[in-house]
Amino acid sequence: MFALDEVRLNLADVAAGARRRLDPVHWDFFAGGAGEERTVRANEEAFTRRWVVPRILRAVGERDLRISLLGSPVSMPVLIAPTAFHRLAHPEGEVATARAAAGAGTIMVISMAATRSVEEITAGGGVHWFQLYPQSDLGFTSSLVRRAEAAGCRALVVTVDSPVFGRRERDLRHGFVDLPPGLVCENMRDASGQLRDIEMDAGLDWRRISWLRGLTTLPILLKGVLHPADARLAVEHGVDGVLVSNHGGRQLDQVIATLDALPAIVEAVGGRLPVLVDGGIRRGTDVLVALALGATAVLVGRPVLWGLAAGGAAGVRHVLDLLRADLDRALALAGATRPGDLSADLVATVARA
């Protein structure tokens, strides 16, 4: 639980509390990115170049943040992104995160690299999607999909931006290459209970997406779409959604910020499937800007880990509640009552001085 003497008015306050509690090696694992971390910074900085142009006299007394996403009702257009190793932040790990997501009425995307099993995470109820790194062993990949289906996950989020592992220099400086004793990636156990390593498959191509489409009836979203040509190909290959993501700046550095990539992806998709976006979202106004530029919903990753480290399930719920309240207030002050009211004319792009 939160200490009574700690004020947590925003996500920066939550991050400060998490940093005090976390082992510095684990803080750097969560906070760090690839190379010089230019993309990590760019994701947040992209929002500082967008300014809201409010409408007035719009009768905003009856606001409603709810949306429907791939058949699931969601209390607000803010989802929990897939992030690895939650037990580094809190002993309950992903189970605590799932409890907070269910209480907030939003979707948790379960990481394939979770430190609790998909079955444990989904047992408490709520709506879950499962993030998948397709493995070169098609049999094992198939077994992962079947586990996710059996556990009640309602969609697959297929990470497509990781043909090789990014070079994360903070982790290299610390020599952080293995989880501490007692922690493992629980979803990587095969049928005999033996653990496998997560493999980045450099041979992954569109044929594997077609194979997955034939394997499962679950909706499939592609995570890591940044180029509009790939968004058009995603539509052609029958996927159900795209996630504009640069992996939180943790794969290739010097990659375009997700907010900067978003409008071209929205245009390429042309309303044929939902477009989600993650990266750098720290305020309700950030959520508003992303929605106005065409995103159906946003996902948050690092702030959830901060909340988990600072206060377990209650900390994650606090992060979600802060974003909900901030978005609600931003909608009213921008002259909107629901996410569907937002449009690109409410956002101006102004270079920073």
Strand 347-349 relative to strand 107-110: parallel, antiparallel, unpaired? unpaired
Host domain of residue 301: 28-349
In a domain, 239, yes or no: yes
User: 49-85 pLDDT, tens per residue?
Assistant: 999 999 999 999 999 999 999 999 999 999 999 999 9
Which uninterrupted H or E stretch holds 218?
A: none
In a domain, 7, yes or no: no
- Residue pair 29/342 in contact (Cβ under 8 Å)? The answer is no
pLDDT-based confidence at residue 234 (cuts at 50, 70, 90) = very high
Q: How many CB atoms lie within 10 A of CB 206?
A: 13
Q: What is the CATH number of the domain that holds 152?
A: 3.20.20.70
> Closest by alpha carbon to 26, among 98, 115, 153?
115
Number of domains composing the chain: 1
86 noted as active-site residue: no
In a domain, 4, yes or no: no
In a domain, 6, yes or no: no
User: 168-200 pLDDT, tens per residue?
Assistant: 999 999 999 899 999 999 999 998 999 999 999
Instruction: State the average pLDDT over residues 315-325.
Output: 98
In the numeric block, which tokens belong to residue 298?
A: 């946003």
Residue of 86, 90, 247, 318 marked catalytic: 247
> Closest by alpha carbon to 33, among 168, 139, 126, 164?
168
In a domain, 194, yes or no: yes
Query: Is the four-CA dihedral 321, 326, 329, 332 of positive or negative sign?
Result: negative
* Separation between Cα atoms, residue 26 and residue 287, nearest integer Å: 27
In a domain, 18, yes or no: no
Pure H helices in the chain: 11-21, 24-31, 38-48, 94-104, 118-122, 138-150, 169-174, 206-215, 228-236, 258-269, 284-292, 302-334
User: 89-128 pLDDT, tens per residue?
Assistant: 999 999 999 999 999 999 999 999 999 999 999 999 999 9
Query: 219 vs 76, 278, 294, 337, CA distance in Å?
Result: 20, 19, 20, 29
In a domain, 13, yes or no: no
In a domain, 176, yes or no: yes
Q: What is the pTM of this model?
A: 0.97
> Closest by alpha carbon to 155, among 131, 138, 133, 135?
131
